Amino acid sequence: MKKLTFSAMLLALWCGIISSAFSQPTQPPEITCFESRKGASEVVRRDLQPGWPNVKCSPKTGAVLWWGDPFDGTVPMGDMPTVENFPTGKAVVKPRSEKIALMPMCAVACHNGVGPKFNPPKLPTSKMPTPIPTMAAMVPDLQNLQHGGGRIWCLDCHHTNQRNKLVDNFGNPVSFDQPQLLCGKCHGDKMRDWRDGIHGKRIGEWASTGKKRWFTCTECHNPHNVQDGARNRGFPQIAPEVPPQLPWGMKDAKHELRHGVSH
């Protein structure tokens, strides 16, 4: 009986070894977090090299806490003719066009510059506002467009017959990856502050890396809901991270009340 039991245990152990040898390694779950605006600047965590991720994601808020390479996936910012001594190719942005879900359809499925020749009527080609139920269904924010206080509509920002492009004041197409060239049409003061580093976010500096990454307008602001709904503050509020751990032996942060100055 003992010999039979020992043989059964040996067989089970051998089967376990064989099973482990042929089993596939478990892949870690894919982690996606956002850089500036949830729903608009998502980035998938991956290893740039073993043990060195491209981003560190907050398990609390889902926001990016740290960049392993802040220039990963960036492209040159493009022409900025109002900036003197601007290091061409050293100022970079991260393209968003590949993340816009409707972009592949805009220029080929409905807006190829011709428009459908059936009823209901053709797509609008002038800048006069026209109800477009299909677009309102795909982009709910259009039903209550807050941008411009009712004085602008779709074709003030989107190119008339190249719908996968934005448009400047002269009617020239502008890439979705360079939204600052569009936003600066009306928001010149913010454009200047953004360019000079007073407004917005950037990473890097010229001295060590020779590069700077500018976060573009639409990475932080929703152009179809600039007032952020009822909040009316122009920027979606992000849940704060958990506070840092107190130094060893400190029970709470009330000691700062005695100093009068936080540290």
CA distance 134 to 114: 17
Q: Position of tokens 């601007």?
A: 86
Interval 179-193: pLDDT, tens: 998 999 899 999 889
Positive or negative: CA dihedral 28, 34, 38, 42: negative
Across the range 96-114, mean pLDDT stands at 65
Q: Is 57 helix (H, G, I), strand (E, B) or coil?
A: strand
Closest CA to 224 of 149, 165, 129, 146: 146
- In this structure, of 59-68, 75-84, 206-215, the range with the lowest mean pLDDT score is 75-84
Pairing between strand 166-167 and 91-93? unpaired
Average pLDDT over residues 195-221: 86
Q: Which range has the top average pLDDT, 23-32, 47-56, 112-121, 202-211?
A: 47-56
HSE (side-chain half, CA atoms, 13 Å) at 65: 12
- What value does the mean pLDDT of the chain take? 77
CA torsion angle 172 176 180 184 (round to 10):
40
Strand locations in the chain (E): 32-34, 42-44, 47-49, 52-53, 55-57, 64-67, 75-76, 91-93, 166-167, 173-174, 202-203, 212-214
Per the listing, tokens 């001295």 go with 207
Reply yes or no on whether the pLDDT at 158 is more than 60.
yes
Q: What is the pLDDT of residues 165-174, one digit of tens each?
A: 899 989 899 9
**Residue whose entry in the numeric block shows the structure tokens 């107190």:** 246
User: Confidence band (pLDDT; 50, 70, 90) for 64?
Assistant: very high
CB contact at 8 A, 42 and 32: yes
pLDDT of residue 233: 74
Whether pLDDT at 44 is above 60: yes
Rg (CA), the chain: 26
Which has the higher per-residue pLDDT, 23 or 44? 44
pLDDT, tens digit, for every residue of 208-218?
778 889 899 99
